[in-house]
Structures are given as structure tokens and as C-alpha cells.
Amino acid sequence: MIVVHHLNNSRSQRVLWLLEELELPYEIRRYQRQATMLAPEALKKVHPLGKAPVISDGDRVVAESGAILDYLAGRYDSQQRLTPQSEEEKLQCRYWLHYAEGSLMPLVVMRLIFSRMGKPPVPWLLRPVGAAFGNGVRKGFIDKQLATHRQFIEQHLTRNPWFAGQRLTLADVQMSFPIQGLAARGGLDNMPATQAWLVKVMRRPAWQRAIQQGGEVDLATE
Ligand SMILES: N[C@@H](CCC(=O)N[C@@H](CS)C(=O)NCC(=O)O)C(=O)O
């Protein structure tokens, strides 16, 4: 039996989405973020890094979103529902699978961290300096980088209905979390194709079942 060690409001939601798309049986073990937003220590008993997502399948433990999606599709997508078919689709799918966590998420997380530099746990005396520093880095560096990424994603989705091309694949599952992050932090106002993609994703019955199982994902921070 596949067990999803599920941290609320986290990347683990996209693993539930894939499992629902593939209509696979699975069990959820729930972990609640602490006040610090970190995962509880108990998750380190599953995998030394104590991050979500992580799954177990019999004696096997698989961590890291992209690796989990790849593992699940490789082992269980016997009908090739979300597995890319053509060489071009495979290449695109692999690209977005890595891009999501390798290039985009670091910026999304950096933006979050720098936007919190004027807030607890930063000592209150340092908060005005922290806020000024955080805003400076955000505006001067991170937002400019993110603007380039936003434009890149938007152009891609203007030309392609799904990230790997003509059909839903693992690439869409993997990209769902950073796109939700962009939507929550800064919005998708100038990204109509990306907005349409997100609406299309959220209307899928499998997405809605995953939300029922794992809970809403709310990435708004400020
Ligand atoms: N690149 C990793 C990132 C894992 C990660 O940072 N997960 C977050 C949840 S979205 C987490 O576990 N945060 C809690 C913590 O760091 O303690 C992946 O995609 O699996």
C-alpha cells in the first residue's frame, strides 16, 4: 500500500493529485506544520530530511516531489494516463519536472523569506531594519528574476495547453505548486494563459478529490 506522509498546506498536495488522477489506492498519515511553519520532528523518522512530500510503498521510501511523481508514474501508470508519449513530450515533461524545484521554487521561497524579515521571529528592535533590507532584496533582485520566469511560463502556456504539450502529464502536476505560489504571492493578473491553466487544473475532479483528502492549500503570506 502506498502511504503518503502528508504535511498540511504543502507540496505533498500534488502527490495526492497524481494518485487521484491515476485512481490508485493510498493511505494518508498526517503531519501538522508547527508554529514555525516547519514540519514536526516525527517526519524525520520517515526520511532524514523530515520534508514533505515523502511516500512509502512497502519497504521503499521515496522523497523529493519530482522523484516521487516519476516513481509513481513509472510503476503504476500502466495506462499511460499522465506519462508523456512522444520524444518532444518526454523532453518537455522532464524539463518542467526539474525546472519547478530547481529554478522556480528557490525564488518563490526566497521571496517569502525576505518578505518576513520585518516580522517575528526577528527580534522587534531589528524589525524595521529587517523589513527595509528584505524589501530591498525583494524589489531589487527577486521580483525582477521572478518577472522573467513569469513571462517565460506565460509564453509557454500561450503556445501549449499543458506544460509538456497537448496533454496533461507529470509536468503539470509538478508545476501546480509553484504556480499556486505565484498566484498567491503577486497574483496572475498579467498571465491570462497561466490563469486559464490553473482554472482548468482546479476544475479536474481528481484535483478536487485530492483537496478533499489533503485540505486546501493556502500559500498567501502577506
Ligand atoms: N524540493 C523538495 C522540497 C521539500 C520541502 O521543502 N517541503 C516543505 C513543504 S512544501 C517542507 O517540508 N517544509 C517543512 C520543513 O522544512 O520543515 C521537494 O520538492 O520535495
Q: What is the CATH number of the domain that holds 38?
A: 3.40.30.10
Residue 127, domain extent? 87-204
Q: Residue 6 gets which letter from DSSP? A: E
Read off the pLDDT of residues 90-148 as tens digits, 9 standing for 90 and up: 999 999 999 999 999 999 999 999 999 999 889 999 999 999 999 999 999 999 999 99
- Residue 211 located in a structural domain: no
Residues 97 and 33 occupy one common structural domain: no
Q: Is the CB of 7 under 6 A from ligand 1?
A: yes
Atom of ligand 1 minimally distant from the CA of 53: 20
Residue 61 to residue 57: CA distance in whole angstroms: 6
Given the DSSP bridges, would you call strands 2-7 and 26-31 parallel, antiparallel or unpaired?
A: parallel
Considering 76, 111, 129, which residue would you say is the last residue of a domain?
Answer: 76
Residues 72 and 91 occupy one common structural domain: no
- Residue 210 located in a structural domain: no
Q: How many CA atoms lie within 13 A of 161 on its CB side?
A: 5
Given the DSSP bridges, would you call strands 54-57 and 60-63 parallel, antiparallel or unpaired?
A: antiparallel
- pLDDT of 185 reads 84
Report the predicted TM-score, pTM, of the whole model to 2 decimal places.
Answer: 0.95
- Residue 111 located in a structural domain: yes
Whether residue 83 contacts residue 171, with contact meaning beta carbons closer than 8 Å, is answered with no
Give distance in angstroms: CA of 54 to centre of ligand 1.
Answer: 9
Q: How many domains does the structure of the chain reveal?
A: 2
Q: Is the CB of 101 under 6 A from ligand 1?
A: yes
Instruction: Give the residue whose CA is nearest to atom 6 of ligand 1.
Output: 51
Report the 10 Å Cβ neighbour count for 41: 10
